[in-house]
Amino acid sequence: MNLALTSGASEAAPLVNRKVTTQTQSDDQSNSKEADPRIIRRWKIRRLSQRVLCGALPETEWPRIVRCGWSMNALVALLGSKGKTSWSGIEHCNSIWCCPLCSARIREGRRSEIQEGFEASKNLGWKAYFVTFTVPHSISTSLGSSLGGLREAYKKMRRYSSLKSFFSKVEGVITSTEIQVGSSGFHPHRHCIFFTSSEIGEEEVSSLKSAWAKAVVKEGLAKPNESVGVVVKEATTAGISNYLSKVQENKVSLEMTRSDLKQGRVNGKTEWHCSPFDLLDSEVELPISVEQRYKLWLEYYEGSKGVSAIRWSRGLKKKLGVGEVADEELGALSPNEVEAELRWLKEEYRQLFKKQPFALAQAQALFKVGKYEEAQKVAGGELLLNNEPLAKRNATTD
């Protein structure tokens, strides 16, 4: 597979004090312990996702993720500020499902929005309920049919007259669709935060459960077990602590958005479940072959295509005073908050991306923890710190 970029003439002004080292990630183990390991993992998974998809699909069908990270501008820059990093001058695929880097960036941005919305809802005196909907599935259920069934059943259920009383109290809803995979097939489910004007009673919860079971059966799937098909919890920070402890962060929005943080599990010799990204992580051991892992990844790619992961009901953001931000704008550092910038000419970055991508990953992981000089040692480039003039930045900030 050829990941080479088309060459473009460099329009950048010559950079001074350029110091390109040839050190690689593995040359500098002493720092790697403190760099953020999740970033390196995401780079590795993105690389493999690109390879698997390129290898399996004809070139005309290659998705945008194949080009994610490619240089776009004459200058490419890694930007850092207080535990945050962003890139300018490169392509972002914005695939929340298949690109671990874009997914983390977008999910983190959406997580903050949800947290903001949740806080605002408390000021309005609303209640918030965290509700999870699942559908029964087996190894023979394709992701297309279980995910399609989940989405259609949800739409159908909303029209049921038995839920009139419930929905009359609903001011808005945030839905987050999530997909896990395991020995019993793909497990799509939907987490929702229902914001309501008043409390939801036992009767309404039980109507919700029956309505869900009915809608799922209508979609041709097996009848969900009423105790697990729908799980309702009041979303006070204390009340949902069981959910949140899974990801060890006491924030209501994390369960909704950060499926990329969850870890795979293997029970016994044949039972396992994990996040789809774990399929491409060689450090996550699973009792299936590499070929099976790639096959599942392709099914996941096909099945999640075009499905929106996180959605707010119409008008809810306005009611809660939360602004609209496009996926591609999330996570971008603004020029005035940038503390440090490591930049490369297009061709130089291109070579690194092709031959030493994990040096770039390591640089980003070091930038995340404020080790700017060490990042430069690993990946070269020109380093500009905040006490140096940054006004001549040629690349666009993303």
- Alpha carbon 245 to its chain centroid, in Å, reads 19
By C-beta, is 99 or 200 nearer to Zn ion?
A: 99
By C-beta, is 100 or 224 nearer to Zn ion?
A: 100
Q: How far is the CB of 35 from Zn ion (least distance, A)?
A: 20
| Long-range CB contacts for residues 283-290, cutoff 8 Å, separation at least 24 | 283/41, 287/183
Q: How far is the CB of 145 from Zn ion (least distance, A)?
A: 27
Structure tokens of 281? Answer: 């992580």
CA distances to 187, 206, 227, 272, 284 from 295, in Å: 16, 39, 32, 16, 16
Q: Look up tokens 């291109």; give the residue.
A: 350
* Three-state SS at 296: helix
By C-beta, is 105 or 251 nearer to Zn ion?
A: 105
Q: How far is the CB of 346 from Zn ion (least distance, A)?
A: 19
394 and 10 in contact (C-beta within 8 Å)? no
By C-beta, is 49 or 253 nearer to Zn ion?
A: 49
By C-beta, is 95 or 356 nearer to Zn ion?
A: 95
Residues in the chain: 398
DSSP one-letter code for 283: T
By C-beta, is 99 or 252 nearer to Zn ion?
A: 99
C-alpha to C-alpha distance for 346 and 72, rounded to whole angstroms: 8
Q: How far is the CB of 68 from Zn ion (least distance, A)?
A: 3
330 and 106 in contact (C-beta within 8 Å)? yes
> Contact positions toward Zn ion, by CB under 5 A?
68, 93, 99, 102
Q: How far is the CB of 284 from Zn ion (least distance, A)?
A: 20
Q: How far is the CB of 50 from Zn ion (least distance, A)?
A: 9
